[in-house]
Structure 1
């Protein structure tokens, strides 16, 4: 193979690569102006390389005219550089002005091309290595100078972008500079004959790599799928180089080993046959891989589209039950069988209660170990290898989604807590102002009602007490909680509260050992039981067979000195509506009690939280309404007294 033929093949490959890259960019770019300009650069480079092929085929005049259009290449690249840099967080006035005058750059480039054609700025010479090669005449100096100047301006814009941008944009620009240096090295040999340097342009044989590397440097952080393509391309390139080296070694040693027939085969033929075999292998690899996968794993249809669908839909989950619901639906659709996902969250097992699960014999157990989410397949022993592979891939993806959801819920909880604290500060200021403004007129109304008839005075006093209780509750809820802990006998405290409550017609019972004590603020804890008992009495009053039952027990904690006191307050009043159960019940101004402020349970929650405890509404088999309080029997070190906002 002569050097002329190698050069012609390299230019032809560069031209084909330019067209393919431009088509791909236009397909992916849509309305992205920077990638459209880069596609124009790729097309112009394809045309410029094709001009060399035309020149080699003996059409010198046409080839020279095509090559003299080279000023359009850096113009398109300048257009791309301006749009690429002047996007995202960077928006520069100077770049806006350059973008507005970019049509004038195109017109100037066309003018330079026309002048070059008119003044015969190019010619062709024959050398010992090539049939015909392009050179600039004296009139072509302006063409070459203008081309270099526009290229320098484009790289100056990129340098400005590298200074202004950060992150992936900055990395892309840095990669473009590296590729630009490679392209300059390749293109330098193009002008050697124009300066009388008789040296074959070996670097131009690698010109196809310049355009591919440039486009990859630009889009690798924008179009992630191109990275997978680049990974496969590098793999096949490495295999090609290994084969070339192997053929070279075989050509050298085959004669010495007595394989004279093999030694007589020209090396280029061996390389051509090997590359042909490699190309065939590349073409049939994916189809054969799919066929073999179906033989080994029958029934499985995993591909990138399925994985992308799974990933995108799992990311839409807003809660654990929603995540389980999506997971069961996706996997059941894929394997065409009912499936159950069991999720262990903080030691409690959750699953989606769907009609499919009653008959589901296949399950995936997802659990957390330390900070990692893991999974186990349950009941898959008789499943086909394809189904097991599908379940394992899905389980891995689902475990990752659990970690993402956990992080998302933690952030949402922290944000809610921050907003609640901010709301409390605002509410505290409002409550203090309201208490000051309302209590004086309330006192005046109370004194003015002294001489009214008894029935009217009683009605006024009742409403005044309700208003005063609302103001007091708002002050308690929104103000700071200063705890003064001491040893408190739980049974004695609750009996005191019950003795002061209006329990006419309500049968109450206690099941609390007299020796149960805990370190707490007795006044705050008394407020907790006053609110809970008053709330129960409000619903039990005038109800037949009204009952109130309070029980407590001590449970061993994780550490011997941190026992827990579990208190349950039961009553047989009307059950709480399902929409109000859970966290909603303890939010401020949520109530169904006539005349209530909606702050009673919210105050209870604040006091229990300040003590480091928990309060929940529980479903109990024997009682319609049950509130469960969990308090540490001893205060943690350093918490004898503190103020919470």
Structure 2
């Protein structure tokens, strides 16, 4: 290929790359002035390259004007550098003033261009393979010196920004310096003939890489799609280089191996055919890839929009039941058949289900998903289910963390409330017990019936005060092994059983790892609460028995069942309907169980109208 033609093609290629990159930058920039200025830099580089092509074809006046407009290139780059460095720095008065006055640099660049054109800033000469080549002369040297000075100012500003910034912006500036050094080395060969050095500008043949590397260095840490594009571009460049190398090797070895017809084909034709084949492969890659995906995974239609829809819909539920229902609905719509979803946040054993099912289970160190019953599902739908299960696992982790934070906040507010209530209760207890004692002493001389009535109400008031202090106070526990049967036998005499039958189905070896005093409070409150409902009914029974696992105790009674509207807030204070009670008994039991690291729950599936199940953990560190 002729050297002058190679130069022309590289100028055209550089201009085309600059225009394409500038158009993409301008489209992506939206309201970012710095990126629009960088797009302007690319446009000016395209015009500068077009000036060389115009000179090459004899359009000297147009070519000179476009080449002498090169001060606008570093001016656009300076505009970009000011905006890029100024982002995220806070107030820098000198930099803000520079940003407000950057329009003056464009005015100065236009003045330099006008002076260069008016005074004749360049000539067209012939040397080597070039019949038309631009060289600077006269005012053109002022033009090139001004251009270099503005470029130095822009890079000095970037160097200052590199020292100030951190993270991705600092990395972008470093990448710009690397690309700038490469571009400077390429551009120096252009002015050799202007200096009387009539050398062929070989580095200019690589100029198309400069604008691409510069823009890539700016945005590679800012836009994810740029890195994906660079990955594909590098792949195809390597493939092109490999094919061209193989063609050259094949052409050189064709003659000795008797393939004379192939050896007689010019290398440029072989390379041209190879490039056409590569371009055809590039054009057909996407449709062929989709066709293969349809053949391998029939029925699978996973795209970015569908994944975004899944993520957004799965992010809406705020509890496990809602997340499970939403997941089942999304899967049924995608797969065209019902799919069960089981979420097991407490490391439960996976259930046995029929049909397709996705099981997400919490296991250390995190959540894991498993497909069950997908043996007869097509590969495409199975792939969709696997992708969905992965997204669901991530959502389960986020929901678990959200619920934990909400529970921690609830406990914090509850503890703060209890601290305030504790101070109020202590003050009230002190203020109330003094007049109650006076009333008790004043009733000593009354007749027996009236005295008994007053004493009963005084005991009730004292019990209410004691319950308030117990509920609002700090509950500390000192665990030890407590024999449950012995404790119950010691407590039995203090209750007014009347006609209620008490059944204690416990062996002597049943022991609980608990605080003895707090355990006694729990048992007294539960038995006293049960007696209030079954004492006056015929055949009233209270039964205490051990559970099927260590640490579990159940307290049954055959009183009336708990109303449905009370189940959700049964252990909250002041919601009980027990006659004469304080409304704090079950709340105190709940607080004591929480202090032990255990739990209490109401059950109605044990064959009794009312059952309270207690669980005390065996591990003393709980």
Matches of residues 102-501 of structure 1 in structure 2 within 5 Å? 102-316=102-316, 318-348=318-348, 361-367=355-361, 370-371=364-365, 373-395=367-389, 397-398=390-391, 401-403=392-394, 405-406=396-397, 409-410=400-401, 413=404, 416-417=407-408, 420-421=411-412, 424=415, 426-427=416-417, 430-431=420-421, 433-446=423-436, 449=439, 461=458, 464-465=461-462, 468-469=465-466, 471-476=468-473, 479=474, 481=476, 483-501=477-495
Q: TM-score, normalised by structure 2?
A: 0.87
Distance change in 2, residues 1:368/1:467 (3 Å): closer
CA deviation profile, 1:173-229 (whole Å, cap 9, x unmatched): 222222222222222223323322322222222222222222223333332222222
Distance change in 2, residues 1:534/1:230 (3 Å): farther
Distance change in 2, residues 1:151/1:319 (3 Å): farther
Please identify the structure whose Cα radius of gyration is greater: 2
Secondary structure of 1:615's counterpart equals strand
1:469 deviation in Å? 3.4
Whole-angstrom CA distance in 2 between matches of 1:393 and 1:259: 52
Distance change in 2, residues 1:378/1:553 (3 Å): closer
Secondary structure of 2:611's counterpart equals strand
Residues 1:591 and 2:604 are matched in the alignment: no
Whole-angstrom CA distance in 1 between matches of 2:536 and 2:17: 89
Report what 1:511 is aligned to. 505
* Unaligned residue ranges in structure 2 (runs of 5+): none
Whole-angstrom CA distance in 2 between matches of 1:419 and 1:154: 55
- Please point out which of 553, 557, 564 is paired with 1:567: 553
Whole-angstrom CA distance in 1 between matches of 2:124 and 2:581: 99
Whole-angstrom CA distance in 2 between matches of 1:154 and 1:461: 89
Moved more, 123-132 or 11-20: 123-132
Distance change in 2, residues 1:516/1:462 (3 Å): closer
Asked if structure 1 preserves the Cα contact closer than 8 Å seen for 2:555 and 2:612, the reply is yes
- Please point out which of 602, 607, 610 is paired with 1:622: 607
Secondary structure of 1:132's counterpart equals strand
1:506 deviation in Å? 5.0
Whole-angstrom CA distance in 1 between matches of 2:199 and 2:395: 60
1:269 deviation in Å? 1.4
Secondary structure of 2:127's counterpart equals coil
Secondary structure of 1:126's counterpart equals strand
Whole-angstrom CA distance in 1 between matches of 2:241 and 2:565: 70
Report what 1:559 is aligned to. none
Asked if structure 2 preserves the Cα contact closer than 8 Å seen for 1:318 and 1:405, the reply is no
Report what 1:526 is aligned to. 520
Whole-angstrom CA distance in 2 between matches of 1:619 and 1:124: 101
Asked if structure 1 preserves the Cα contact closer than 8 Å seen for 2:475 and 2:592, the reply is no
1:471 deviation in Å? 4.0
Distance change in 2, residues 1:235/1:111 (3 Å): same
1:277 deviation in Å? 0.8
Secondary structure of 1:152's counterpart equals helix
Secondary structure of 1:348's counterpart equals coil
Distance change in 2, residues 1:317/1:102 (3 Å): farther
- Please point out which of 598, 602, 608 is paired with 2:593: 608
Distance change in 2, residues 1:552/1:369 (3 Å): closer
Q: TM-score, normalised by structure 1?
A: 0.84
Moved more, 244-253 or 614-623: 614-623
Whole-angstrom CA distance in 2 between matches of 1:134 and 1:94: 39
Distance change in 2, residues 1:388/1:8 (3 Å): same
Distance change in 2, residues 1:143/1:279 (3 Å): same
Asked if structure 1 preserves the Cα contact closer than 8 Å seen for 2:190 and 2:201, the reply is yes
Whole-angstrom CA distance in 2 between matches of 1:350 and 1:597: 43
Report what 1:560 is aligned to. none
Whole-angstrom CA distance in 2 between matches of 1:140 and 1:277: 46
Whole-angstrom CA distance in 2 between matches of 1:413 and 1:192: 71
1:135 deviation in Å? 2.5
1:239 deviation in Å? 0.5
Secondary structure of 2:87's counterpart equals coil
1:301 deviation in Å? 1.7
Moved more, 84-93 or 33-42: 84-93
Secondary structure of 2:607's counterpart equals coil
CA deviation profile, 1:454-482 (whole Å, cap 9, x unmatched): 69967974784366235403442xx261x
CA deviation profile, 1:55-96 (whole Å, cap 9, x unmatched): 222212112211222222222222222322333465544432
Asked if structure 2 preserves the Cα contact closer than 8 Å seen for 1:363 and 1:378, the reply is yes
1:423 deviation in Å? 5.6
Asked if structure 2 preserves the Cα contact closer than 8 Å seen for 1:449 and 1:460, the reply is no
Secondary structure of 2:551's counterpart equals strand
1:442 deviation in Å? 1.6
Whole-angstrom CA distance in 2 between matches of 1:307 and 1:324: 18
CA deviation profile, 1:483-502 (whole Å, cap 9, x unmatched): 33444211222344454345
Distance change in 2, residues 1:485/1:190 (3 Å): same
1:345 deviation in Å? 3.8
Secondary structure of 1:115's counterpart equals helix
1:593 deviation in Å? 4.6
Distance change in 2, residues 1:265/1:579 (3 Å): farther
Distance change in 2, residues 1:463/1:551 (3 Å): closer
Matches of residues 56-75 of structure 1 in structure 2 within 5 Å? 56-75=56-75
Secondary structure of 1:551's counterpart equals strand
Asked if structure 2 preserves the Cα contact closer than 8 Å seen for 1:518 and 1:634, the reply is no
CA RMSD of aligned residues (A): 3.4
Whole-angstrom CA distance in 1 between matches of 2:540 and 2:29: 73
1:278 deviation in Å? 0.3
Asked if structure 2 preserves the Cα contact closer than 8 Å seen for 1:487 and 1:517, the reply is yes
Whole-angstrom CA distance in 1 between matches of 2:77 and 2:581: 72
Asked if structure 2 preserves the Cα contact closer than 8 Å seen for 1:319 and 1:405, the reply is no
Whole-angstrom CA distance in 2 between matches of 1:470 and 1:431: 12
